[in-house]
Chain A
């Protein structure tokens, strides 16, 4: 492994240097001048041109036209370099655990910037703010919003909003005034920076950056609540940052500032925030509505998700509303309806593309950050920069402390002191600050601000990013539970929700559960009818989760050829037990019950797995009968697979409808299942309760197999040897 890694490292490194060289060359002016190929004409091309009267019109077999492809070529090269660097990090397993990826990427960017600067003797390309805000930021925020777990988010929304809005304002004002205080000290030569400028600087440096937070917190796996708090805050404080920054910038240009302007600013905040949410929701609902009609063109379904989200972002930016809030609202709003409407493949595509784009953006941002650091747009002033760092940390800690104090008074679910430390320490600044500082109007001290911002970002990402993991371990923060919620837990949580809503209704007092229930009611009555394609079978999250689990089980089974006791199997015996033999079961002791189960198991040996109902959940200690059943199933499975492959080739290119709801097939499946059961006479009395519709509906895989099975049956006519996937049981 080590040797492989080393070899891969060398290969990668050499390839990477080559590409870097190409990039450096391309950034130099007029690459064509460097090349010795003189082709006798400006626009060299492949075809030999007929130039009348020109003796030296040679046939050009090899020519170079770089201008033609320059822009896309450079972009691709950058992305390629960034991604190769990323591969490089992960070759050495220990590295990402010690140094977060963002640090490494900035480091790589620094190197590249240094090389370009050294060769070019001028500043390397600085990341254009437009490029950042319009192209690089939206994918990351969309990814964050789409995969945000909505339940903990809304449970903690009060706290998140408090931190985001009040916390940011406190930070801005605090940092601004403190720095102004520092500027008054004569020794630092900073008197020309006015209060307004300090406040402006404070507004752009105070905001916690979602990109940086995401990349660091991903690796430390704190518990869900903490993650949601910091992350939600970093996303939502964009609204405040946008308003404050724009407000203060416009103040800079105005000669006098009246109180009315301040109030206008506060009003603007509400407009920005609520407007952003509205825009996002409108686009989200439209997206959900559009996907209702995409049944026949499954291929472009993922496109709608991305198009609508991006449109919402751009529209919000157009109206100077908060684009980040809009895109989050869009993603969260459309998620549940779109997922129900689009096919499974489209769903997977959406998820993967989102992850891919956000990963690319993330990488590019950090590399550019590193590259842009090198250059001569910095002015250094020790005092200002050091105090900025100090005040950032200080005010963040203060803000978190005070706000948490209030939060803990109002809520029962307290934020512990360890959590508080992590929230305060996890307030990383990132590329948003950087872009905002470049957007500042030109004034004498701008370069100082740029330098300060750069230092802050580097400090938070490197120092705080690297030390947060050991600190988390040191403080023993409650780590995230690795397992996803089980079916049982979902049931319980749902039960609790309804219970609390009911109790609140009885008490006659409103609470958070009231709103949740009201929304669910509104949803099921109106929204679902409008936005879901197949309203005929709305699925609750429990059912979806259950289907997902069953599908996962089925896939594992198919791949491993092993028997897994699926839940549906449990109902088989018990339904028979309870429905058919109620009298006997009542008042039975366990021995008799076991006997009955054994008898049943033996009788059903040939058609299904023999283990009685919910006695086990895995396969240890297989009995002889089980082995045989297993073998039969494996053989069957193999032959079915071959058949399926053959028939797949026979099918034309039309994509199979394999969405969660397989309604079209359901009726045929019902008949299918029943016919299979009916056919076997010896199972007749026992079998009546066996065919449960649910198992038939859920798995298209099983439908395909079952169809093949049916065909086989008609061919072979061996009812006793019925191939029976455990999945089919119920």
Chain B
């Protein structure tokens, strides 16, 4: 809460590929990991902050999301609808791989709202999908033996029993 000068300050972030992003400090506040670093620094942070695990593509998307959301929130009342539309487009614009990469980046940078939104998007994606789909999506190896799988099948059969599959 140090006043006007805060919103004018710019923070520079550096991605894995070495790309530099100038970010307003008000936006940087939403990147809690970055903010923590800034808070902990004794002096003003002037040199670019390296983000060893964040790629340009992801940071660019995250900043895009945050910039838009800041705009929606500070604007007029109709923002809710616009925001919802933006969010829907945002989610649709990514492949599953990109979605996963973005989640990891958002998690690392600790961007709370975005992360919740992305997690919900993933939850929606796996909604009506099979076990195999979920495994593929998350890159998980099935660690059940064939015998164990056989026993699990009863559970699955019961769950799908009497339920019409489209």
Q: Do A and B make up one complex?
A: no
Taking Cβ atoms with an 8 Å cutoff, the residues of B that contact A are: none
Taking Cβ atoms with an 8 Å cutoff, the residues of A that contact B are: none
